[in-house]
């Protein structure tokens, strides 16, 4: 019996070397990197212009109101404020690319060092919040879409409406009043109890990780209990948007012909949703989760203020009240860069996912 000859693929792309087939993906990556650089440049221009248009004089903030004219002029020369605005922006961009974001007036420390100290707290809070918000948001959205018009669907829509409508600072204050002041179920503001603040070494900047590495069970429990309330507040805010979009996306897909065909062949609703519908809306859900995560990173200012959470949001709030322009400019630039990076990464991941599905 003769040996069967394997069939050759007719697709021209399948006959190309792997390196050539990866060129479209590499080109997409280059385009997103270029878009990221241009967007970051535009963000730098806007933030720089806003600080220069502000009525607050950085030189006057540095030397004080009672300094002599010669001291004031020397401070302006030291800060480079006597140069034309384009030259000031180029100088700032050059120093920022080297990692130097200037000197904070309020703390007396380099802004980059202050951000490296405060940003992990915001990152930890936002990451835990987006995980909780995604789990509950996707679950509620799927439940509401599978039972449209039911009592469960009404509860899902009500939760989503409340999450959009309730001010986040009011919800945070209410949580503190109920669980901290009245019921005593939660600890006070901050990241750790006072007894652990100076006994746990800061290795990564993340309280949960540092307390776990220290081997102190009490410190880890303290960090977890302090994180619970602010993370739940932010998670509720993220859950509202995720559940609403999940429900709408699944309902839109359930009316498509392939779903009706699968249902006519006897496939159950749960099987259709999880095997056919969810893969088709993964790109949309990934986008909304990433944008929610970015909004938590940049929008946790009120939550960090209410819970005295020492993150970059509280750092920027303190800098704004103090008129600390280097801190405001550096912090805004870092937060904006995170938002742009997450957006670009999500677009790239969604494109790869759609290409894989095709």
Residue 199: predicted pLDDT? 85
CA distance 24 to 196: 52
Residue 9: predicted pLDDT? 46
Query: Residue 92 is part of which domain span?
Result: 28-97
Question: How confident is the chain (358 residues) per 10-residue block, as mean pLDDT?
Answer: 45 48 66 79 82 75 76 80 84 83 84 91 93 93 88 88 85 89 85 85 89 90 92 92 91 86 84 87 88 81 86 87 82 83 79 70
Report yes or no on 2 lying in a domain.
no
| 89 and 118 belong to one structural domain | no
| 87 and 122 belong to one structural domain | no
Contact (Cβ atoms closer than 8 angstroms) between residue 80 and residue 89: no
Report yes or no on 18 lying in a domain.
no
Report yes or no on 210 lying in a domain.
no
| 273 and 186 belong to one structural domain | yes
| 39 and 168 belong to one structural domain | no
| 176 and 68 belong to one structural domain | no
Q: Which one of 63, 97, 131 terminates a domain? A: 97
Residue 3: predicted pLDDT? 46
Residues 100-104: contacts with CB under 8 Å, at least 24 apart: 101/326, 101/329, 101/330, 101/333, 101/334, 102/326, 102/327, 102/329, 102/330, 103/326, 104/319, 104/324, 104/326, 104/327
| 151 and 232 belong to one structural domain | yes
CA distance 106 to 206: 24
| 166 and 43 belong to one structural domain | no
Residue 142: predicted pLDDT? 92
| 85 and 122 belong to one structural domain | no
Contact (Cβ atoms closer than 8 angstroms) between residue 273 and residue 264: no
Report yes or no on 155 lying in a domain.
yes
Contact (Cβ atoms closer than 8 angstroms) between residue 53 and residue 46: no
Q: Which one of 97, 125, 151 terminates a domain? A: 97
CA distance 312 to 125: 11
Give the angle subtended at the CA of 132 by the CAs of 234 and 236, to the nearest 5°: 35
Q: What is the CATH number of the domain that holds 156?
A: 1.10.3720.10
Report yes or no on 314 lying in a domain.
yes
Residue 357: predicted pLDDT? 67
Number of domains in the chain: 2
In 3D space, the residue among 134, 125, 113, 117 whose CA is nearest the CA of residue 223 turns out to be: 125
Report yes or no on 79 lying in a domain.
yes
Residue 25: predicted pLDDT? 62
Contact (Cβ atoms closer than 8 angstroms) between residue 307 and residue 231: no
Sign, CA dihedral 92-96-99-105, equals positive
Sign, CA dihedral 12-18-20-25, equals positive
Residue 227: predicted pLDDT? 93
In 3D space, the residue among 338, 278, 315, 270 whose CA is nearest the CA of residue 130 turns out to be: 338
Report yes or no on 329 lying in a domain.
yes
Residue 133: predicted pLDDT? 93
| 182 and 33 belong to one structural domain | no
Secondary structure letter of residue 265 according to DSSP: T
Report yes or no on 104 lying in a domain.
no
List, in order, residues 6 or more apart from 307 with CB less than 8 Å away: 172, 176, 189, 190, 229, 230
| 245 and 319 belong to one structural domain | yes
| 52 and 147 belong to one structural domain | no
| 279 and 308 belong to one structural domain | yes
CA distance 48 to 338: 18
pTM of the predicted model over 0.85: no
């Amino acid at each position: 019996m003769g040996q069967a000859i394997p069939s050759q693929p007719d697709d021209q792309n399948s006959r190309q070397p792997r390196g050539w087939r990866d060129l479209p993906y590499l080109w997409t990556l280059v385009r997103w990197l270029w878009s990221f650089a241009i967007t970051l440049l535009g963000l730098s221009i806007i933030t720089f212009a806003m600080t220069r248009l502000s009525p607050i004089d950085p030189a006057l903030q540095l030397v004080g109101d009672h300094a002599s004219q010669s001291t004031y002029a020397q401070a302006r020369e030291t800060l480079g404020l006597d140069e034309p605005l384009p030259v000031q922006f180029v100088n700032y961009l050059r120093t920022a690319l080297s990692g130097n974001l200037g000197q904070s007036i309020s703390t007396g420390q380099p802004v980059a060092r202050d951000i490296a100290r405060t940003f992990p707290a915001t990152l930890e809070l936002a990451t835990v919040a987006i995980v909780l918000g995604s789990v509950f948001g996707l679950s509620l959205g799927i439940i509401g879409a599978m039972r449209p018009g039911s009592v469960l669907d009404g509860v899902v829509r009500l939760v989503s409406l409340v999450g959009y409508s309730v001010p986040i600072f009011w919800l945070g204050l209410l949580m503190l009043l109920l669980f901290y002041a009245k019921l005593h179920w939660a600890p006070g503001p901050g990241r750790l109890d006072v007894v652990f603040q100076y006994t746990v070494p800061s290795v990564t900047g993340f309280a949960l990780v540092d307390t776990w590495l220290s081997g102190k069970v009490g410190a880890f429990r303290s960090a977890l209990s302090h994180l619970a309330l602010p993370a739940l507040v932010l998670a509720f805010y993220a859950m509202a948007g995720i559940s609403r979009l999940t429900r709408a996306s699944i309902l839109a897909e359930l009316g498509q012909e392939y779903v009706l065909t699968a249902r006519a062949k006897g496939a159950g609703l749960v099987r259709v949703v999880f095997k056919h519908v969810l893969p088709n809306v993964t790109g949309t859900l990934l986008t909304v989760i990433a944008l929610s995560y970015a909004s938590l990173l940049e929008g946790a200012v009120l939550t960090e203020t209410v819970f005295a959470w020492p993150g970059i949001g509280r750092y920027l709030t303190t800098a704004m009240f103090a008129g600390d322009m280097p801190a405001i400019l550096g912090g805004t630039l870092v937060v904006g860069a995170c938002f742009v990076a997450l957006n670009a990464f999500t677009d790239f991941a969604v494109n790869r996912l759609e290409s894989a599905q095709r």
